[in-house]
Structure 1
Amino acid sequence: MTHDRPWLASYPAGVPAEVDVDEYPSIVSVLQAALAKYRDRPAFSSLGKTITYAEVDRLSASFAAYLLGELKLKRGDRVAIMMPNCLQYPIALFGVLRAGLTVVNVNPMYTARELRHQLDDAGATVILVMDNFAHTVQEVLHETPVKHVITTALGDRLDFPKRAIVNFVVRNIKKMVPDYDIPHAVRFNDVMAAGAKLPFSDADVQIESGDIAFLQYTGGTTGIAKGAMLTHRNLVANMQQASAWLGDNVRAGEETIITALPLYHIFALTANGLVFMKMGGLNYMITNPRDMKGFVKELQKTRFTAITGVNTLFNGLLNTPGFDRVDFSKLRLTLGGGMAVQRAVAERWKQVTGCTLVEAYGLTETSPAACINPMDLKDYNGSIGLPIPSTDACVKDEDGNVLPVGEIGELCIRGPQVMRGYWNRPDETAAVMDADGWLHTGDMARMDERGFFYIVDRKKDMILVSGFNVYPNEIEDVIAMMPQVLEVAAVGVPDEKSGEAVKVVIVPKDPSLTAEQVIAHARANLTGYKRPHYVEFRKELPKTNVGKILRRELRESATA
C-alpha cells in the first residue's frame, strides 16, 4: 500500500507505519498501566497543589464508587462535566470512565441556550459544575434530563488554609460566583467522602473498546452543536499513534506539560490529559490562561518540558512582559493546533524559547490527531505535517475523486481514531463519512510529493473574488508580518463588482498604525485580487473558548 502513502518515506527514524490499536481494550486499561508504573510520580498540579498518580487512583475510584453505588448509574449513562482546568477535573474524568460511563464535556462559558441544547441532546442525567457557572445550570435544569447536580468551588481540592482563602477570594473579592439556588445539589467534597466509604473495583466494571467514552460536542461555530461519538478504541488508538510519533523525544516519567487549553477541549484532553498520563508525565494546569500576566508568573515558577496551545495563545505569551525571562532550558516540545499557526508567531517563538513550534492537525471527529509534523523539525514549514501511523489521508474533489499531488481539494482522513459518527444524527454523519470510511473534514488542502499536507483554508471561510479563491490564512499571514499588528482576521464581504472583497480586521500593537500602511504592505506582498479593500481596527477579535478567531462573527457584522 506504500505507493498510496508517500508520507511514509518522510517519517522520522523509528516511527512505525502502523501501531497496535488493540494493545489496550480501553482508556481505563491505559490508566491502570500508568497508575501501576508511576504511582509516586506527580500527575496533576493546579493552584500550587500537586496530586500523584496514586492519589488520582484513589480519588477517581471514590468518584466512580459514588456514581455507581449512590446514584445507581448504568453502563453508558452520560455524565456532564462543566469546569475549567482544576484538580477536580481529572478526578471526575477518570472516575466517570472507570465507572463505565460516558463523559460529556461542557464548555463552562456556554450560554443557557447552548447548555440546554447540549444536556438535552446528550441525555445527560448527572452534571458536575463549578459554582461560578451553576447559575446557568439552574436556569435550564427543568428543561433537561439532568437528575443529579454536583457543585464545587475552585479551591475545593486544595489544602487548608489555602482552600478557604481561594474560595473566599473567588466568591467575595473577585465576585466571580453569581447567586444560584439548586435545592438538591450535592457538594463535590461530600461526594468524595461518601464514595470513599463505598466499594469499587475496576474488575467489576465491564468496558468494551466500542463503548462511547466521550460525547464530544463540536460544530458550535457552524451552527447546531453535534456530539461526536468517541469510543474507547478511538482514544486508545490516538494515544498509541501520538506516543509512537513522539518516540524518544519524550522521556517516560520525566515530563512536565503546561496544560493551558481547557481539558474539556479535545486537543488538551487527548494530547495533554491522556497522552502524557500514559507516559507518566505531570499536567501543570493553568485555570485561566486569559490572564496572561498570571500565566507568565506560573511559567516562571516551573521548569516545563512541553506546552501545547493555539496560535493566539502563543502570540499572547510572546507579547506579555516577562515571558522572555521564563526558563526554557528544559523545553523540548511545543505543539500548536486548533487553528493555523502563523509563520510570524512560529519564528518568534523559536527565537525566544529556542524550541521549534511544531504544527499538528486534528478534529474533534478524529480524537483529535490526524497529521503532525516531525518532532525533529528544525524550523516552521507552514505544513500541518504527515498523517500519523495507521492513518490515511487524501485530497478529494467535489465528486469524490482523489486528486494528484499539488492540487487543492477537500482533506479526507481515515483511521482507527475516526469517530463512530454523530450522536443521534445519522443524516449529519452521512454528510461527512463516505462509504469507504473517509471522513470529509471541510478543510481545503494540498499534499506535496513528500506526503506533507498543507491546509489552505476552511471550505466555508474561503473568499471568492471575481471567481478566484482567496484563502484568509494567506492574507492573515502576510498582515501578521507587520510588527505593528498584534492580531488579524480576514473575511469576505459582499461586493457589487467582484462578488466578494477582502476585509481585514486588525488589533494593532502600535496605535499609530493606519489603513494606508496596511494596504501598502499588502500591495507589496499580495496579488491584486487578494489585497484587502477594507481595513478595520478593533480592540479585540471575537474568539471561541480556546482562542480560535470567529471569522463567522466578523463576516456577519461586516455584512450587517
Structure 2
Amino acid sequence: MQFPLTVGDFLYRAATVYPDRTGVVDEPDQPAPSLGSLTYREMSAYAEAQAARLDEWDVPVGARIAVVSHNSARLLMSFYGVSAWGRVFLPINFRLAEAEIRYIVEHSGADVLLVDPERRELLDTIDVTHKYVFGEDDDKIYAHGVTAAPWEGDENATATLNYTSGTTARPKGVQQTHRATWLNATVFGLHAALTDRDVYLHTLPMFHANGWGMPFAVTGVGAEHIVLRKVDGTEILRRIEKYGVTVMCAAPAVVAAVLDAAPNWEGEIPGRDRVRIIVAGAPPPTRTIERIWDELGWEFIQIYGLTETSPLITVNRMRAEWDDLDTRTRARNLVRAGTPALGVRVTTDVDGEILTQTNHALEAYWRNPEETERVTAGNWFHTGDGGVIEDGYLTIADRKKDVIITGGENVSSIEVEDALSLHPDVAEVAVIGIPDTKWGELVTAIVVSRKDTLTAEELIAHSREHIAGYKCPKRIDFLDELPRTATGKVQKFKLRAPFWKDQERQVN
C-alpha cells in the first residue's frame, strides 16, 4: 500500500489533533485588516474556502496561483488553500519591481494574482484572469461555508513554483513537487527538533524558498505561528517576550538587527536559554555566533541550501563532543555549513563545485529543459557553489555562480549590470559583492562613465526605476577602464581582490 505525500497532510494533522489550539497570530500592524488569532480549525476552514473559490472560478488542478505579499496569515494559509487542492502555489518576492513581477506572472502562465494592499498597483498593469487584493477583496477570495472539490493527491505533482535569481538576468522558476516539499519539511523539522510546545516567529519571508519549509513543519507538529510583517530588531525582541517564541529562521542581516537592538533593551534579553535561531543565506562571522551566545543567550544553528533543494542540504548544530571546548572553538565549528541532512548526499567535483543528491531537489526549471538538464547532470544537483568537505563537514569556500547574497537574498550581478547600463552616461559596468558586516555582501558596481559629472547617487536612483531596491547597488566606484582578458571578458576576480584579500573565504 502506498499513500501519496502531499502538503495537505500538515494542515490536516494540525486541524485533526489540535483543532482548538491557536495556529497563527496574524500581524497586527498591516494595511489589510488583521485576522488576529486563528485556531487550526479556523485555518483549515480558510484554506478550504480559498480552494472552493478557485473551484467556482473553474481554475483547474495544476494551474498557477501567484501571490505577492508580505508575511501574513493570508499568505500562510494560501500554501494550503492552493496546493492542498492540487493547484500550484507561486509565492513572489513582494520587493521586486513591477516589471520583474510581471515577467514571473506571464512566464508562469498564472491564472490568479493575489496581492498585499501595498502592491495593489500591480493589478493595473498585470493581465490575469482573476486578480484581487488581500483584505479588501476577501469576500471574493474566500467562499466560506462551501465544500471544496476533493483532490485525489499526487506526490509527484508540482506543489510550488518559486522563482529564484541566478546567473542570468531572467529568474528561473523552480518546480517543487509535493513529495520534495513534504520530505524537506519533515527532515527540517527533525533537525530543528520541532515539537507542539514550540512557538515560531516568522522572521524569514514566507515567499523565500517557501519559508524554508517551516509553514509546513511548524503546522504539522501543531506549533504556533507568529507572523512578523517587517523585520525590526526591537520588535523581534518584543514578539519573543510577548508570545514566548522558541524558534525562528533568519538571514544574517536579521541577526545583526537583533544584536544592534539588544543594548537598548530594558531588562533581560527575552528568550535566553530558550530561543534557537536557524541562520542561512551566508555564514555569519565567528564573532557574531559568539555574540548570539553571550549577548542573547540563544542557540545558534546554521543550515545551507538553495531554493532548488527546498532548501535543506546541510545542518550545523552544537553537538555533545563540543561541550567542553572553549567558546571561540565552538563558534568556529559552527561557521561551517554543516553535515548532510538526513537523506542527503554531498560531495564536490574535481573543480570544487558542491554537488548533492536529495529527495527534495527540484523537479525541473519551469519551461527551461536545457538548464534543468545542466544542473541535474549525472543525477547530481550542481549547486554552482564551491566548497571543501573535511571530517564530514562542508565549508563554503567560493561561489562559482556570479550571484551576490545580500541580506539572505540572491542578486544576479548580470541583472544589476543590465539596469545600470540603461543609463546613457554608463559606458561599462561590472557588479560584484564585497564583504559587509550587516548584509553579508554589499552589491557594488564598478562603472566606467562617459561623463565626469556622473555621480553614484544618480546611478543608484536610476537603478531603482528598473529593479527591486534590495538589488540596487549600495556602493559605486568609478574606474577609467575595466580589467579584461585578451578575448574581452571582464576579469571580475581582479575587481574583487582588493575587497576580499583579508577574508578567509570568498563568500561572506
The Cα shift of 1:137 comes to 3.2
2:453 matched residue in structure 1: none
Whether 2:16 is the aligned partner of 1:36: answer: yes
Where does 1:161-172 land on structure 2 (aligned, <5 Å)?
none
The reply to whether residue 223 of structure 1 matches residue 205 of structure 2 is no
SS at match of 1:370: strand
Rounded Cα–Cα distance in structure 2 between residues aligned with 1:428 and 1:557: 33
Change (3 A) 1:267 1:347: farther
| Distance apart, 1:223 and its partner CA | 2.0
Q: Displacement of 1:554 after TM fit? A: 6.1
Q: 1:255 to 1:330 in 2, by over 3 A?
A: farther
Aligned counterpart, 2:180: 234
Aligned residues of 2:7 and 2:80 also touching (Cα < 8 A): no
Instruction: Confirm or deny: 8 A CA contact 2:283 2:336 kept in the other structure.
Output: no
CA offset at residue 331 of structure 1?
Answer: 2.2
Conserved 8 A contact 2:445-2:473? no
Query: What CA distance in whole angstroms lies between the structure 2 residues aligned with 1:494 and 1:150?
Result: 41
- 8 Å CA contact 1:262–1:546 kept in 2: the answer is no
What's the counterpart of residue 281 of structure 1?
223
Q: Aligned equivalents of 1:386 and 1:488: distance in 2?
A: 22
1:119 to 82, 89, 105: 105
The alignment yields a C-alpha RMSD, in angstroms, of 3.1
Could you tell me which amino acid in structure 1 is paired with residue 336 of structure 2?
S
* Range moving further from structure 2, 211-220 or 291-300: 291-300
Q: Decide whether aligned partners of structure 1 residues 362 and 52 sit closer, same or farther in structure 2, where only a CA change above 3 A counts.
A: same
Q: Does 1:310 align with 2:310?
A: no
Q: 1:121 to 1:357 in 2, by over 3 A?
A: same
Deviation string, structure 1 residues 477-502 (Cα, Å, up to 9, x no partner): xx85xxxxx5664789989xxxxxxx
Partner of 2:48: 61
Q: Is the contact made by 1:261 and 1:546 (CA closer than 8 Å) also made in structure 2?
A: no
The within-5 A match list for 1:430-469 is 430-434=373-377, 436-448=378-390, 450-460=391-401
| TM-score with structure 1 setting the length | 0.68
Q: Percent identity between the aligned chains?
A: 22
In structure 1, C-alpha distance between the alignment counterparts of 2:4 and 2:223, rounded to whole Å: 19
Q: Is the alpha carbon distance of 1:322 and 1:546 closer, same or farther for their aligned partners in structure 2, counting shifts above 3 Å?
A: farther
Q: Which one-letter code corresponds to 1:446 in the other structure?
A: V
Matched, 1:189 2:158: no
Distance 2:402 2:92 in 1: 26
Q: Which residue of 2 aligns with 1:513?
A: none
Deviations 1:505-543 (A, max 9, x none): xxxxxxxxxxxxxxxxxxxxxxxxxxxxxxxxx9xxx9x
Contact 2:314-2:341 at 8 Å conserved across structures:
yes
Using a 3 Å threshold, how does the CA distance of structure 1 residues 488 and 361 change in structure 2: closer, same or farther? closer
CA 461–117 in structure 1, closer or farther in 2 if over 3 Å, else same: closer
Query: What is the number of residues matched between the two proteins?
Result: 416
Q: Tell whether 2:314 aligns with 1:371.
A: yes
The AA in structure 2 aligned to 1:313 is V
Q: CA–CA distance in 2 between the matches of 1:335 and 1:303?
A: 17
- Whether the 8 Å contact between 2:273 and 2:298 is mirrored in structure 1 is no
1:196 alignment partner, SS class: coil
Q: Is 2:444–2:474's contact at 8 Å kept on the other side of the alignment?
A: no
Distance 1:296 1:243 in 2: 23
Write the distance in 1 (CA, Å) between the matches of 2:171 and 2:104. 7
Residue 52 in structure 1 maps to residue 32 in structure 2 = no
Please say if 1:205 is aligned against 2:151.
yes
The answer on whether the counterparts of 1:79 and 1:104 sit within 8 Å (CA) in structure 2 is yes
Mark the CA change 1:309 to 1:370 in structure 2 (over 3 Å): closer, same or farther. Answer: same
Residue type matched to 2:117 in 1?
A: D
Is residue 2:139 matched to residue 1:152? Answer: no
Superposed, which structure 2 residues align to 1:396-435 within 5 Å? 396-398=349-351, 409-434=352-377
Unaligned runs of 5+ in 1: 1-21, 157-186, 399-408, 464-471, 481-485, 496-537
- CA distance in 1 between counterparts of 2:102 and 2:347 reads 37
Counterparts of 1:491 and 1:106, CA distance in 2: 21
Match of 2:117 among 122, 127, 131: 131
Distance 1:422 1:81 in 2: 19
SS of equivalent to 1:150: strand
Q: Which residue of 2 aligns with 1:171?
A: none
Given that 2:26 and 2:227 are in contact with CA atoms closer than 8 Å, whether structure 1 keeps it comes out as: yes
- Give, in whole Å, the separation in 2 of the partners of 1:255 and 1:546: 34
Query: Contact conserved, 1:44 with 1:52, CA < 8 A, in 2?
Result: yes
Which digits, 9 at most, give the CA deviation of each residue in 1:126-179, with x for residues without a partner?
0111121010331232xxxx10012124xx7xxxxxxxxxxxxxxxxxxxxxxx
